Amino acid sequence: MPGTPSPSPEGSVAQFLGPCAPARLFPPVPPIPDWARLEPNRPRPRPRPWRAAGGNSSALSWRGGSAPSWAAPPVRIAQAPPPGGHVAQQQDGGVRSVTEEPPRAPRVPRPARAMVTEQEVEAIGRTLLDAAQPLPARFRALFTLRNLGGRAAVEWIGRAFGDGSALLKHELAFCLGQMQDEAAIPVLISVLEDTAQEPMVRHEAGEALGAIGNPDVLDILKRYSQDPVVEVAETCQLAVRRLEWLQNNKEKPSTTPYLSVDPAPPAEETDVAKLREILLDESQELFDRYRAMFALRNVGGQAAVLALAEGLRCGSALFRHEIGYVLGQLQDEACVPQLTAALRSRAESPMVRHECAEALGSIARPSCLQALRAFASDEERVVRESCQVALDMYEYENGAQFQYADGLCKLQASS
């Protein structure tokens, strides 16, 4: 996915809300059909997907979008579509399907994006760098910068890699990858090459280089595909495969209902049983298993969720960590027992436990709360901090706050 897209694409809810819209906390969202009147509702850190019935990629679609792992807010249709369009809502699962896109109506003018000054970007950047700030506040500043985009935001995010929190640095790299701004490539290469950085940070830097989509980084990724740290090596192998796939599929449209930039494209298969078989077959190439993983996420439903949750027992820590992230995107309470068990396991990799904690914060049901509170004082720093951030996500999900990535909103309210 080469290029440097605007953080708020034409016609998106992110543009409607301005720079305060949450990101993957969250990736940009696609254009909204003009026949649909949008009434912004309280955004979710990882938005639930809008799936097009029958795989119609032209229909509305959302991700969770994350991003940390939190994205654009869900919207509701305030006006029935005209004849020829049908909208169905599944009340308990948060999935809405559009079976047919109706004829276009006259375009409704959109509010202009809020103007942001260099001083405001600097103030948000300083909040991100301020180690005296609570970590959840620094996360919110980070995702505000991620939404704003631009070279200044990239530079402020890059300056935070000297921090002592592996969790924060992991999220810095994640955001730089999701922004897909090639200005971030030098700092990401530097982080990948720095063996003093924690493996989960180097891994995320490698994944971000693949997400940006510039084939010029293939040589560096191939070099680190042989890294002695398994998670780093596997990540770079996946990033190489992704870039090669992009080069060979330039004309192939994306059919994913999630707006994240994923480490592998979804498989074309949609049968849950077949995808589950590939997902759990450790003799298959990791790239193909990742493709099955993202296809299961896109299919959705409890059968897919439970199939994905079985992946938490697979051998690769990198794979299990990605399973945790995807389950957080799906926000289905059916996987809470498996996520909780992984978080509680002292034998589990901290990288996996961290992602499972954030997934529980994204799901944000009462069944998630006990484990998050219990491990908010865990001896493993990345687990402890992930639970603290997840509790902030939980509070946001179940509270009255309108924005998660609220750094700019707070700044403007105080001025």
CA distance to 47, 52, 68, 322, 405, per residue, from 143 (Å): 15, 28, 9, 20, 5
At a CB cut-off of 8 Å and minimum separation 6, what does 193 contact? 224
| pLDDT surpassing 70 at residue 317 | yes
Residue of higher predicted confidence among 75 and 211: 211
What is residue 89's three-state secondary structure?
strand
Phi and psi angles of residue 52, each rounded to the nearest 5 degrees, phi first = -85, 125
| Annotated binding-site residue numbers | 170-171, 203-204, 321-322, 354-355
Question: Are the C-beta atoms of 207 and 239 separated by less than 8 Å?
Answer: yes
> Average pLDDT in the 76-86 region?
37
- Closest by alpha carbon to 393, among 31, 47, 87, 28? 47
| pLDDT surpassing 90 at residue 10 | no
| Annotated binding-site residue numbers for Fe cation | 170-171, 203-204, 321-322, 354-355
**What does the pLDDT look like over 116-154, one tens digit per residue?**
889 999 999 999 999 999 999 999 999 999 999 999 999
Highest mean pLDDT among 95-109, 139-153, 248-262: 139-153
| pLDDT surpassing 70 at residue 243 | yes
Ordered domains of the chain (ranges, CATH): 1-55+63-78 (no CATH), 150-252 (1.25.10.10)
| pLDDT surpassing 90 at residue 199 | yes
pTM to 2 decimal places: 0.74
Residue of higher predicted confidence among 356 and 255: 356
Which two three-digit tokens encode residue 146? Answer: 């991620």
Partnered with residue 76 across adjacent β-strands are: 39
State the pLDDT at residue 338: 99
CB-hemisphere CA count at 13 Å for 185?
Answer: 18
Residue of higher predicted confidence among 211 and 73: 211
Quote the CA–CA distance of 195 and 214 in Å, as a whole number: 23
| pLDDT surpassing 90 at residue 219 | yes
| pLDDT surpassing 50 at residue 9 | no
| pLDDT surpassing 50 at residue 86 | no
Residue of higher predicted confidence among 280 and 84: 280
State the pLDDT at residue 251: 78
